[in-house]
Chain A
Amino acid sequence: MFGYYLDMAVRSLRRNKVLTGLMVLAIAMGIGASMTTLTVLHVLSGDPLPGRSASLYYPQIDPRDMADYEPNVEPPDQVSWIDGMYLLHAKRATRQALMTGGMVPLQPAQSSIYPFHAMALYTSADFFPMFDVPFQYGNAWGSIEDDSKARVVVISAKLNDKLFGGQNSVGKTLRLQETAFRIIGVLGAWHPQPHFYQIYMGSYADDEDIFLPLSTSRDVRMDHAGNTDCWGNGGGDNNTLEHASCVWLQFWVQLDTPQQAAAYQDFLVHYSQEQHAAGRFLRPPNVRLRNVMQWLDYQQVVPSDTRLQVWLALGFLVVCLVNTVGLMLSKFMRRAGELGVRRALGASQRALFGQLLMESGVVGVVGGTLGLLLALFGLWLVRQQPTDYARLAHMDSSMLLTTFGLAVCASLLAGLLPAWRACRITPALQLKAN
């Protein structure tokens, strides 16, 4: 019966090529636009570390003075050196890491490559196990290297390919800012998107090529990049950042259970109260403990333009659907005579309804296929844009299925009302009119 209905639907659609073409085109354009924008949103708002992100938290405390004080404002987005170091050494979480980014001048040993600036992350030992960073060669540094400000460095697979042709470079020397560093590890493929742990160098930025101990970066006086927010008489001068009343570091902790997270929150409040009593913090305790997805949401890393584009595309899809309903209705009503004859000959209302729905289903499948091609073209266009997330705009299997589902559902929905109206016609009236 399915085959018979399908055959009838195709015949009926081919009888009126222009109208069918218009319906297919409308669905395809609506689906194409919606799926392009939804795919971009899906990619940009994805979970950077699936399975782990729920147990990773970003603590915030408020060390500022009373200038511009208002109750219930958010604490600063970063921590100062003094607070960051205290929280790091308190070791109240399963794992914890303090970090900031920077650009480091790199002088390759080969004379064929000019010195260049490499993107670096200065962090502490727990960074690698906490974020489950895979290693290709060697391994990460430990707390001993952190404490001794060791000249050790972990490099990305990309940099290893560029400088050492992909060979095992562990033990070799890398010159950074006129200082010799020993390579102790080479990362495997690791590209969390969004770049959640350090969003101040671009939320969808390229990954860092250089990882080295934060203590070492301060010892060598490496420049830090990203935001520095100061209050009071704090100046953002790189040489005095350890003592300045400025926040410029990011601090992440791993808390495996909700109880642990609650205990950590209490610890932050307690620390703030202590500092307040000591006169270092002037504001009342004001702490936040957000996990990865809550942090990304709070920081609004997904550009507002992307959301606006989704709304726009959905609006466009609605117009396309209303258009298709109108065309479908006129197409079905035009066949009122034929439907009347078939009703008179004994076809049930259900059978007619099924046949008409099959017709809209076929329009949906064809429109969906065409819409998918349009969406792929749309994503290609997005990739040509000069934005930092452009290269991420690819369709995955879940969005592929969503596209088809949306197309067929949309066109069935569009066919529902016209089909219902068309199969309710009174056969006698139609026969008489003819």
Chain B
Amino acid sequence: MDIKPILATLGRHKFTVFLLIAQIALTCAIVCNAIFLISQRLERMAIPSYIAEHELVYLQLAFIGARPDAMARTEADLAGLREVQGVKSAMIIDHLPMSGSSSNSSLWLDPAQQMETMDATQYFGENLLSTLGVQLEAGRAFNPEEYRDLDKIDKALQTGDMKEIPTSVLITRAVADRLWPGQNPLGKQVYIGRNFALTVVGVVKGLVRPNLLERGAQYSLIHPVRLSMSAGSYYVLRCDPKDRERVLKAALAKLNALDPNRIVLDSGTWDQMRYNFFRNDRAMAGILMGVCLALLVVTALGIVGLASFWVSQRNRSIGVRRALGATRGHILTYFQTENFLLTTFGIVLGMVLAYGINLFLIVHYELPRLPLTYLPVGAMLLWCLGQAAVLGPALRAAAVPPVVATRSV
């Protein structure tokens, strides 16, 4: 098929052609970036937690008044919770993965260095590995005698009594690779709060942070610290996925029976917590998807509108071509090729524009560079859209009978 006559015809409608190309280019650029943004959100929502996600339920409670015997009461609570039928393991933890509130600290490899080496979240609580289902990759878990009580640590920080401050720590693989790339981290020392050296005794595969995932989703430390129930801490129970609802109900009843004078702040399964944690990302991905669809529909309708207009405008010349021997197929191909050319121009312009928009997003929203693979995908999408949109008007053009040529006006 010779494209010269098509280009010549398009040249007579420069302004309309320019508008259509501009629309396709804008659509291509926005859709490419929107799909990229969607994929970023989906990637974030798929971050692995490295815990037994579907086997965990949590309860968050608060005392009404001060409790000097909080530690003993916590032990009694945990003993009671372990008696609940179906509970495999129970613990109290300061912050839950993906709960949105965290305690973070700076790590130094050398206490004399000016800037921190990295920043990591801290997890406290006995039986953390077995309850959350965190996998030990190297080294060992904490020995019972390594654990210290949190309130005693707080006092020791005031008095400077170093005996009550733990000296061992478990780190994630991600922290190990960041601090000592390519080396064996076991037995190495890392400084926290400058004055406190911690020895790495074990490495876990991973453990996601409670929030601030963008600072390194798996940058977590586990400390041998025993907790008592206080504001913000959670009881976590591990059980069979199908037992979760029942265990949660029984655990609430149990805790209420042990001490009715407290307030249940929150309770649920960890799956719900994860779902809620990503609700903004999910909503944003949905909005982006909706805008993409709307853009494609508007552009398709624009193509249909313009193509219909051109078909009716060229009714007579189509008739003449048909009378001179062009088949229906020829007419169909003519309009399809015309659309293909227009879409191609639009796509080429759109790619440049897509990179422009991406640069804007990099500067203002700290987004990574648009991968090249998005361009052929965007191009295919618009080619298909253009062909589908032009098919109707093109078929109508092909149906124009040759006799039109003989009619005046």
A240 touches B154 (CB 8 A): yes
Chain B residues in 8 Å Cβ range of A330: 16, 305-306, 309-310
* Complex Cα spacing A433 to B409, Å: 10
Chain B residues in 8 Å Cβ range of A298: none
Q: Count A-B contacts at CB 8 Å.
A: 142
Number of A interface residues at 8 Å Cβ cutoff, please give it.
Answer: 59
Given known pairs A312-B34, A319-B27, A323-B302, the reply for A69 and B287 (CB within 8 Å) is: no
Chain B residues in 8 Å Cβ range of A329: 15-16, 19
Chain A residues in 8 Å Cβ range of B301: 22, 25-26, 323
Given known pairs A26-B301, A237-B154, the reply for A325 and B26 (CB within 8 Å) is: no
Q: How far is the CB of B371 from chain A (nearest CB, A)?
A: 19
* Interface segment out of the listed B166-174, B242-250, B288-296: B288-296
- CB contacts under 8 Å to B, within A296-350, are 303-305, 307-309, 312-313, 315-316, 318-320, 322-323, 325-327, 329-331, 333-334
Number of B interface residues at 8 Å Cβ cutoff, please give it.
Answer: 56
B64 touches A178 (CB 8 A): yes
Chain A residues in 8 Å Cβ range of B62: 103, 105, 117
A68 touches B23 (CB 8 A): no
* Complex Cα spacing A25 to B409, Å: 32
Given known pairs A26-B301, A309-B287, A326-B302, the reply for A319 and B30 (CB within 8 Å) is: yes
Given known pairs A326-B16, A330-B305, the reply for A177 and B263 (CB within 8 Å) is: no
B65 touches A178 (CB 8 A): yes
The answer, among B16, B283, B302, B308, for a CB contact under 8 Å with A385, is B283
Question: Does chain A have a CB within 8 A of B79?
Answer: no
Question: Does chain B have a CB within 8 A of A257?
Answer: no
Given known pairs A221-B66, A312-B34, A329-B15, the reply for A318 and B26 (CB within 8 Å) is: yes
A316 touches B30 (CB 8 A): yes
Q: How far is the CB of A341 from chain B (nearest CB, A)?
A: 14
The answer, among A29, A225, A240, A434, for a CB contact under 8 Å with B409, is A434
Question: Does chain A have a CB within 8 A of B406?
Answer: no
* Complex Cα spacing A385 to B286, Å: 11
Question: Does chain B have a CB within 8 A of A51?
Answer: no
A103 touches B64 (CB 8 A): no
Chain B residues in 8 Å Cβ range of A223: 231
The answer, among A117, A233, A325, A386, for a CB contact under 8 Å with B19, is A325
Question: Does chain B have a CB within 8 A of A67?
Answer: yes
B365 touches A308 (CB 8 A): yes
Chain A residues in 8 Å Cβ range of B306: 326-327, 330
Question: Does chain A have a CB within 8 A of B373?
Answer: no
* Complex Cα spacing A320 to B114, Å: 54
* Complex Cα spacing A434 to B66, Å: 95
Question: Does chain B have a CB within 8 A of A142?
Answer: no
Q: How far is the CB of B325 from chain A (nearest CB, A)?
A: 26
Q: How far is the CB of B382 from chain A (nearest CB, A)?
A: 13
* Complex Cα spacing A194 to B53, Å: 35
Main SS of the interface on chain B?
A: helix
Chain B residues in 8 Å Cβ range of A303: 280
- CB contacts under 8 Å to A, within B94-120, are 103, 106, 114-116
Question: Does chain A have a CB within 8 A of B195?
Answer: yes
- CB contacts under 8 Å to A, within B302-316, are 302, 305-306, 308-310, 312-313
The answer, among B116, B265, B298, for a CB contact under 8 Å with A319, is B298
Chain A residues in 8 Å Cβ range of B65: 105, 177-178
B19 touches A312 (CB 8 A): no
Chain B residues in 8 Å Cβ range of A325: 19
Chain A residues in 8 Å Cβ range of B312: 334
Chain B residues in 8 Å Cβ range of A434: 409
The answer, among A70, A103, A236, A319, for a CB contact under 8 Å with B26, is A319
- CB contacts under 8 Å to B, within A394-434, are 417, 421, 434
B279 touches A386 (CB 8 A): yes
Q: How far is the CB of A69 from chain B (nearest CB, A)?
A: 7
A334 touches B309 (CB 8 A): yes
A29 touches B294 (CB 8 A): yes
Chain B residues in 8 Å Cβ range of A164: none
Chain B residues in 8 Å Cβ range of A307: 364
Q: How far is the CB of B19 from chain A (nearest CB, A)?
A: 4
Chain A residues in 8 Å Cβ range of B298: 26, 29, 316, 319-320, 323
Question: Does chain A have a CB within 8 A of B299?
Answer: yes
Chain A residues in 8 Å Cβ range of B295: 316, 319
B313 touches A313 (CB 8 A): no
B106 touches A68 (CB 8 A): yes
* Complex Cα spacing A237 to B232, Å: 13
Q: Which residues of A contact B (CB under 8 A)?
A: 18-19, 22, 25-26, 29, 33, 67-70, 103, 105, 107, 114-117, 177-178, 221, 223, 225, 232-233, 235-237, 239-240, 303-305, 307-309, 312-313, 315-316, 318-320, 322-323, 325-327, 329-331, 333-334, 385-387, 417, 421, 434
List 17 A–B pairs whose Cβ atoms lie within 8 Å, in order of A's numbering. A19-B309, A26-B302, A29-B294, A29-B298, A67-B114, A115-B64, A115-B261, A115-B263, A116-B263, A235-B154, A303-B280, A312-B291, A319-B295, A319-B298, A323-B298, A326-B23, A329-B16
**Given A103-B62, A239-B154, A322-B302, 4 extra CB contacts under 8 A:** A26-B302, A114-B263, A225-B231, A305-B280
